Structure 1
Amino acid sequence: MDITTPALLFPAISLLLVAYSNRFLTLAGVIRQLNNSNDRSTTLIQKQVGALKKRISLTQRMQAFGVLSFLLCACAMFALFLAAQFVGKLLFGASLISLVISLLFSLAEVSISTNALSVVLEDLEEARKSHQK
């Protein structure tokens, strides 16, 4: 394995971290919007709070493992640069494992986000039905 193998992962991890940051910023905006809401006690908001807490935790973990993957990839490149093939391969493998863990956390966060949207849609549907009566 040469230095170009882990170098190929660099742009992918960088783009992934940007996407994670955008998801975090969107999540922070939703939380701030709910905090500024005048009616914080509604059932809809109460249903969302638990999901939002889980999403924050998952986002933190996916970002942490994404950054760890990036660091391990950089260390792998450095080890390969120093001709330490075995260490470079180990570090690159650890980088890939960290990336997979990050992606699994991302998948879990997307699942919770989708469920949260379903709750909002159910509330909108109930409001529409009660408005029609």
Structure 2
Amino acid sequence: MDELTLTTPALLFSAISLIMLAYTNRFLAYAAIIRNLHDKYQKEKDSVLMAQIKNIKHRLYLTRSMQIFGITSLLFCVLTMFLIYIQQHTIAVWVFGLALILLIFSLAFLIWEIQISVKALEHHINDIENR
């Protein structure tokens, strides 16, 4: 088995950083949508708006999970580097493996959230096509 070096977890830094930037952009977009839906709902208590609010709430919680798992993965990569530095290689290998698993969970939540987003947009497209 090849030995885990400092560069291995460091390689994930740029990837995880870019992923976190994408997650943050999604979160900010949801915040704007929620504020817009809130204003619309205050004016008219429409059942369609309520369905959109429930949908975006679900997607918001998924994005939170994506961010938590992604940040924890990055934290474990840093911990891995520290463990390698203090010569705790066996523990470092296990912590790095956990970091990879957390990153997998984060990406799985992203796939789930994208599926929900596509379904929400399909409702709008169908509404346009039916008019």
Provide TM-score, normalisation by structure 2. 0.91
The CA deviation at 1:83 is 1.4
How is 1:33-112 mapped onto 2 (pairs within 5 angstroms)? Answer: 33-37=36-40, 39-112=43-116
Q: CA RMSD in A?
A: 1.3
Is 1:30 the counterpart of 2:33 in the alignment?
yes
5+ residue gaps, structure 1: 129-133
Q: Which deviates the most, 54-63 or 117-126?
A: 117-126
Counterpart CA distance in 1 for 2:44 and 2:28 is: 21
Counterpart contact for 1:58–1:106, Cα < 8 Å? yes
User: Runs in 1 of length 4+ with deviation above 3 angstroms?
Assistant: none
What one-letter code is carried by the residue in structure 1 that aligns with 2:88? A
Q: Contact conserved, 1:34 with 1:40, CA < 8 A, in 2?
A: no
String of CA shifts for 1:34-62, please: whole Å, max 9, x gaps: 11226543343222122111101101111
Percent of aligned positions that are identical = 40
Structure 2: which 5+ residue stretches go unaligned?
none
Return the offset for 1:124: 2.1
From the superposition, tell whether residues 53 and 41 of structure 1 become closer, same or farther in structure 2 (CA, over 3 Å). same
Q: Decide whether aligned partners of structure 1 residues 40 and 107 sit closer, same or farther in structure 2, where only a CA change above 3 A counts.
A: farther
Would the alpha carbon gap of residues 25 and 52 (structure 1) be closer, same or farther in structure 2, given more than 3 Å must change? Answer: same
Q: Name the aligned partner's letter for residue 6 of structure 2.
A: I
Whether the 8 Å CA contact 2:73–2:100 is kept in 1: the answer is yes
Distance in 1 of aligned mates of 2:124 and 2:51: 9
